Amino acid sequence: MPSTAKQKNLGELLVQQLLELGVKDSHMDENGYVYATVPPSPGAEDKPAVCFCAHMDTSPEYSGAGVVPTLHKEYDGGEIHLPKGGIVITPKQFGPLKEMKGHTIITSDGSTLLGADNKAGVAEIMMATELLMKSNRPHTTMKILFTPDEEIGRGADNVDLEKLGADFGYTMDGATKGSLEDETFSADGATVIFRGTNTHPGYAHKKMGNALKAAGVFLGSLPRSEWAPESTKGEAGFVHPYEISGGVEEVRITMILRSFDTDDLEPYASLL
């Protein structure tokens, strides 16, 4: 824990920056969780403590190494062309862009993931911490929690709630400006492996077993209307194959199982 060592690298950096801001109890535990406390302003010592939380990992679906942040200043409301990969971002694809006219839009250069999920949440909490530590603005005790492995559904597994010591908490991981969510889904991960037998295709009669074809049959058999994220909405659960790799001898399919009803996850896995 965590699943990748690089998450601890970021945790160590955040601890150092928090200490430099004067947050004296900042530390990272052996599992890669960062804890810190912004003291209350005078007179607010007896008020409930509020936690602000964000996760440090980014999506495993695309590389987040060597990110080159690209600033699009005074956004004009039109298409955004990334420097690499021929990628074009349009307001039609990403509706919230319509509200961003005149702002500075930050993207990657197109060769990597930007990782705003959830670097944006981390940045918001760090900025709030800096402002509160430098100002006389009245505030209650602010508890800070940065977690690893949210993207693989394990972000809350080893949180020490007693040490955290918060009465209320907010996760800074929203999708659009002004959104507030008061519930979330439960999730599991699944890896489905197909193993075949390879041989020269010229001599493959009754010898070759193609794992790629078996994986294709499997994917084609998944329910398309009630299980797919592209055909469900709201609180409807889904099973989402998001990565496939391999060849004739072996294919691995990585999947996400999600539902607002935790009891759904076991039947999903059983049907898989």
Q: Provide the annotated active-site residues.
A: 57, 150
What φ, ψ does residue 31 adopt, rounded to 5°?
Answer: -95, 0
CA atoms within 13 A on the CB side of 124: 17
* Residue with the two structure tokens 């839009």: 105
Instruction: Compute φ and ψ for 163, nearest 5 degrees.
Output: -65, -40
Residues of 174-193 as b/e, b for ≥16 C-beta within 10 angstroms? beeeeeeeeeebebbebeee
Two structure tokens written together for 86: 């021929």
User: How far apart are alpha carbons 166 and 141 in whole angstroms?
Assistant: 9
The CA-based angle 244-2-130, given to 5 degrees, is 115
